[in-house]
């Protein structure tokens, strides 16, 4: 069994408690009581964490909260490069199990940028390559991300500036993506090709999406549903803490007007 450094262990315990407390934070006495540590020792730890930016303090109330350095560290860990490496493993599993083409995309304004592509053993002809950008509303990848980042038809219309008929259609498919937990696209982006995608979110913000691209002749509604749910399950099993598949939401009371 590896040895622990007591000072480091206590400092990490303090950081974990602050993180769990969220924006409400904790007072010095509350921290010391929760961790069963001497108040003077906790105060010294907090002073060091504050100096490094890992803790902050409201000087009127004395409450301590997580500092910006810890948040920056989290952002660095979940940067696009790191996220792409995490999702590459997911894409390999998904593509191998379904024997279909798998894409990974990340948001790029109101577009989705393709950052990874896993070919199946039986290759299919699809116009896609790493680096290509497509409008969010035309792809399953983008629709999955929109399902996380927008809440209503007016929200979609305002963000994308689409004609009324396109906005109405998109609101319907994005609403379906919210209620099912995966987005779909059938021959709207490329003739003969259908896609299903699940977004990956952190803190309610879409970070990336993973899709399966399948010839429409072997992508009936039952298989689309199976692949969408299976993709969610694999993401749930493989994603590290802090990331999760897009939430499944009840859209019956959504403000669509």
From CA 141, how far away is CA 135, in angstroms rounded? Answer: 10
Q: What is the DSSP string of 136-191?
A: GGGSHHHHHHHHHH--SHHHHHHHH---HHHHHHHHHHHHHHHHHSSEEEESSSST
Q: Are 26 and 17 in contact (CB under 8 A)?
A: yes
Tell me the pTM: 0.69
The neighbouring-strand residues paired with 197 are: 183, 211
**φ and ψ at residue 8, rounded to 5 degrees:** -65, -40
From CA 180, how far away is CA 231, in angstroms rounded? Answer: 12
Mind listing the domains of the chain with CATH numbers?
A: 6-75 (1.10.10.10), 78-245 (3.30.450.40)
State the DSSP code for 196.
Answer: E
**Residue 256, pLDDT score:** 43
**Residue 184, pLDDT score:** 94
Cβ count within 10 A of residue 5: 9
Output the average pLDDT for the chain.
Answer: 85
Q: Each residue of 169-180: pLDDT tens digit? A: 888 889 899 999
Report whether pLDDT(235) > 90: yes
- Which pair of structure tokens corresponds to residue 146? 């929109």
Distances (CA, A) of 242 to 11, 30, 145, 199, 204: 21, 26, 17, 14, 11
Q: Classify the phi-psi angles of 162: left when phi > 0, otherwise alpha if psi is within -120 to 50, otherwise beta.
A: beta
Place of tokens 């909260």: 65
Cβ count within 10 A of residue 232: 19
Average pLDDT over residues 226-242: 93
Please enumerate, as own/partner, the contacts of 125-130 that have beta carbons within 8 Å and a separation of 24 or more.
126/101, 126/190, 126/193, 126/213, 127/190, 128/103, 128/213
Distances (CA, A) of 24 to 27, 57, 193: 10, 11, 49
Its sign, for the CA torsion 189, 224, 197, 156, is positive
Share of the chain above pLDDT 90, in %: 41
Q: Each residue of 140-168: pLDDT tens digit? A: 999 999 999 887 777 777 788 777 777 78
Give residue 190's pLDDT band: very low, low, confident or very high (50, 70, 90). confident
**Residue 156, pLDDT score:** 77
- Which pair of structure tokens corresponds to residue 225? 């549903």
The neighbouring-strand residues paired with 206 are: 201
**Residue 70, pLDDT score:** 79
From CA 150, how far away is CA 206, in angstroms rounded? Answer: 10
């Amino acid at each position: 069994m590896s040895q622990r450094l007591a000072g480091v262990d206590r400092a990490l315990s303090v950081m974990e408690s602050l993180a769990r407390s969220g924006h409400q934070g904790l007072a010095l006495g509350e921290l010391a009581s929760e961790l069963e540590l001497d108040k003077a020792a906790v105060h010294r730890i907090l002073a060091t964490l504050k100096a490094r930016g890992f803790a902050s303090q409201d000087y009127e109330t004395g409450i301590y909260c997580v500092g910006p350095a810890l948040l920056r560290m989290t952002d660095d860990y979940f940067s696009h490069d790191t996220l792409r490496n995490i999702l590459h493993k997911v894409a390999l599993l998904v593509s191998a199990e379904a024997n279909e083409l798998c894409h990974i995309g990340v948001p790029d304004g109101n577009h989705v940028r393709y950052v990874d592509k896993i070919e199946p053993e039986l290759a299919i002809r699809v116009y896609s390559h790493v680096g290509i950008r497509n409008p969010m509303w035309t792809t399953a990848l983008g629709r999955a991300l929109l399902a996380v980042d927008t809440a209503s038809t007016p929200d979609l219309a305002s963000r994308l500036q689409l004609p009324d008929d396109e906005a109405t259609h998109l609101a319907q498919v994005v609403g379906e993506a919210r209620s099912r937990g995966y987005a779909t696209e059938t021959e709207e982006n490329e003739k003969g090709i259908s896609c299903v995608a699940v977004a990956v979110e952190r803190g309610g913000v879409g970070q990336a999406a993973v899709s399966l691209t399948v010839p429409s002749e072997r992508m009936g509604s039952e298989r689309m549903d199976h692949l969408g749910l299976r993709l969610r399950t694999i993401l749930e099993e493989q994603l590290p803490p802090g990331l999760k598949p897009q939430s499944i939401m009840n859209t019956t009371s959504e403000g669509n007007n």
